[in-house]
Structure 1
């Protein structure tokens, strides 16, 4: 897709990766409708590119919020690119997480993503060329200690992307699944950064992730896994999961220590 011709709905625009996606897409000439719960977090983006960016305040976990987004899309004359980047992460041992935390994570990461995509598909079908981009995670392919609920949500997003791509194979709508590795965003607090440093696990900048997402969109990829050796681990986990089991078993004491707040 030609980025300059894209009319985009971007969720999660107030987050690290989402903000960089908005900035880089606007710089490339795209028109954007940004979604966040708090409008003031989007105002700096709108002020920087007032001719390219519009913001809408909406809670995507609520029907009224999704309807407000769909109506905003209609007012702008439709979209040809939907980027589902909204999401939340929670690091910690699964047995110590509350019912409310688990439910809220799945509601935003999975349910709201599916429901918003479904609501916008009729508008995407009206375009000669369109794309849905779902931002997942390496942890959507590798179950990782300390991230059980988050892994469950991203495994679901990956499966949804694969199924939807096949379901829309005879339409002009393409589906791209992008899986970043650990990234320096507000979702990863100081304890996660410290743990990754002790484990020698690299973390990307949001700007670097966004640039690779734009490249995947421009070349109409179906999937894009970011980072090495994470891409190798994804393949190993699919083919030889016991090797990954053994590797993560060695890391488990460190992960447990940080997850229990004993760093």
Structure 2
């Protein structure tokens, strides 16, 4: 069943109006007809199974058949703080992070990041990244639309993460999988988690010191060195497996 999102003002007691670019996609790309079923999410972990009642050039009206207030989200919010990688790796990272249940993704300009974005380029990138996040949310039938925030400095990212319950930072020189297992197993139901992943060059020593002072747990992901586009996915997968209800 195809999945779409609707704004709260377009969700009514018995029907939902779909507006914007999705109208053309449903009518002219998917070629849906009246009576066809859709899955529509409100963006706050509520899903609606609907049937198309009528279509126009401006909107599509879908009757609500059933409502699922449980949604498909993890019981904990996981935020990925990703050091800016080279080339188009960020697009893959965002796509997979959304599929694996990340609540949001924060691009972080770190000392060893090769990519340097000025304000204009950063704005365009973030717009594109949010489009990728939305597509991934639809494909994986998420009940929310995970956000990709503006690019932050490492200091800004740590301040932003200060509101979270647990902060994890995988580091290649860290040792002891037993500690990693213990830290992950001790994450309580509903506790929010921040994951800090370095760019290709890893973390600068000063960044590690700042992270520890901010309350980050330095952990290992094993004896093998993982690429920046792999490390976050690996940790997100483990957290999803442990948290999934």
Fold in common (TM above 0.5):
no
Larger Rg: 2
With structure 2 as the length reference, what TM-score do the two structures score?
A: 0.37
Q: TM-score, normalised by structure 1?
A: 0.35
More strand by share: 2
Q: Which structure: greater helix fraction?
A: 1
